[in-house]
Structure 1
């Protein structure tokens, strides 16, 4: 019996037709290389060099986990004559921003200026460079913590505008200090109290996150015996008058 032309071609190519892919659908099929020539141009070399520089920069940069903002609950805060206690964890918060070099205390409390009762956040904000010294202290029995912070000049004050659930907080800068008797504008010392373990964990993150804080904890606390800012301190600037 004569064999068909297709059968003869399949026999000459190892038992399969060159125009068909045989085997199961799960069988891996190898394709021949494209044999395309690589043309090395100056632009191509510049792109390679740029990628290499970016990789070196990324490898030398600070790990992302160490530059993320810190947020931690505060049990109680005292500044001069002004004191706030947290009933719920969200009532008092400390926040530290590494990118913006800012530290702040946020307090959530009832807003009595509106007809309907709602809660609104207020914020005391300081630049890192305005922190002269700080001292953490841990109770040996229950590991509650106290952090004392000494400032160089008064902080700035903000109030939340148009509070909305699940939305980023919008802030409005205030012209006046909202603390009792303007305590935060007069007192250089801020004292913060923390639940067991909170201060320890966050101090470790803080000093390892930026060299500024690792050096600041070595500074003698306090740097001055004066409890209040200079009486001639106006507009957050020192005055010689």
Structure 2
């Protein structure tokens, strides 16, 4: 009988290395937004410039929570927000100024956005968004489809690269649509409401003219 000692068993094969997601994949799964400083916002009759009193910031969520948020951080009022879900965006375009001047990001909406005021509780540990009414001049953001945001050219370039880098068909569809996709500058329901008022005024004028002709 052989007394030769057996050596240790061969080591088992190591598990395959974990697959490291690409930067775009990690960004798509991240709930954290990407922030960009806004120089100016313009919607219909309302415009707001960034200042020491009220800073402007854009939040872009590229993962499952696909939305755009314009933040207005006033030193007295607090942080007010205009929030747009991506499904509500008809089209989007970028216009770059010459000689490193201001560039413009334009958004066309299907329906009015939502408005929030950021509030905090529990010693500023918990932050909530409280729904508020449209705070833009003459409720412009509830009437007009187009949002124009002004950035430095370098910032606008980063924004476009960020959105393209999401590699999501939902974002690609928005970027590939013609801008504007619709001729109307205002939301349809408001136009129908205004048209109804015009029709009522026209009918009233007809009745008044008939009454005058009848000598009433």
TM-score in same-fold range (> 0.5): yes
- Matched with 2:166 is 209
Q: How far apart, in 2, do the equivalents of 1:151 and 1:197 lie?
A: 25
More deviation, 225-234/152-161: 225-234
Extract unaligned runs of 5+ from structure 1. 1-32, 39-47, 111-117, 235-241
Question: Is 2:192 the counterpart of 1:228?
Answer: no
Could you tell me which of 78, 87, 93 is aligned with 2:42? 78
Q: How far apart, in 2, do the equivalents of 1:61 and 1:202 lie?
A: 16
Q: How far apart, in 2, do the equivalents of 1:77 and 1:163 lie?
A: 29
Question: Is 2:186 the counterpart of 1:186?
Answer: no
Q: Quote how far apart the aligned CAs of 1:208 are.
A: 1.4
Name the Cα RMSD after superposition.
3.4
Q: Quote how far apart the aligned CAs of 1:85 are.
A: 0.4
Could you tell me which of 23, 26, 38 is aligned with 1:64? 26
Q: How far apart, in 2, do the equivalents of 1:203 and 1:148 lie?
A: 12
Q: Would you identify which runs of 4 or more consecutive aligned residues in structure 1 move more than 6 Å?
A: 163-166
- Matched with 2:214 is none
CA, structure 1 residues 168+88, in 2 after alignment: closer, same or farther (shift >3 Å)? Answer: farther
- Matched with 2:95 is 137
Q: How far apart, in 2, do the equivalents of 1:88 and 1:34 lie?
A: 75
CA, structure 1 residues 86+166, in 2 after alignment: closer, same or farther (shift >3 Å)? Answer: farther
Higher strand share: 2
Q: Quote how far apart the aligned CAs of 1:120 are.
A: 0.2
Return the structure number with greater relative CO, CA threshold 8 A, min gap 6: 2
Q: How far apart, in 1, do the equivalents of 2:53 and 2:153 lie?
A: 13
Question: Is 2:111 the counterpart of 1:153?
Answer: yes
CA, structure 1 residues 203+138, in 2 after alignment: closer, same or farther (shift >3 Å)? Answer: same
Q: How far apart, in 2, do the equivalents of 1:163 and 1:137 lie?
A: 41
Q: TM-score, normalised by structure 1?
A: 0.64
User: Number of residue pairs matched?
Assistant: 182
Q: Quote how far apart the aligned CAs of 1:62 are.
A: 5.1
Contact 2:143 2:190 in 1 (8 A): no
The structure whose Rg is larger is 1
CA, structure 1 residues 163+179, in 2 after alignment: closer, same or farther (shift >3 Å)? Answer: farther
Q: TM-score, normalised by structure 2?
A: 0.71
- Matched with 2:59 is 95
CA, structure 1 residues 203+168, in 2 after alignment: closer, same or farther (shift >3 Å)? Answer: farther
Extract unaligned runs of 5+ from structure 2. 1-5, 193-216
CA, structure 1 residues 36+92, in 2 after alignment: closer, same or farther (shift >3 Å)? Answer: same
Contact 2:24 2:167 in 1 (8 A): no
- Matched with 2:70 is 105
| Local SS of the residue matching 1:217 | helix
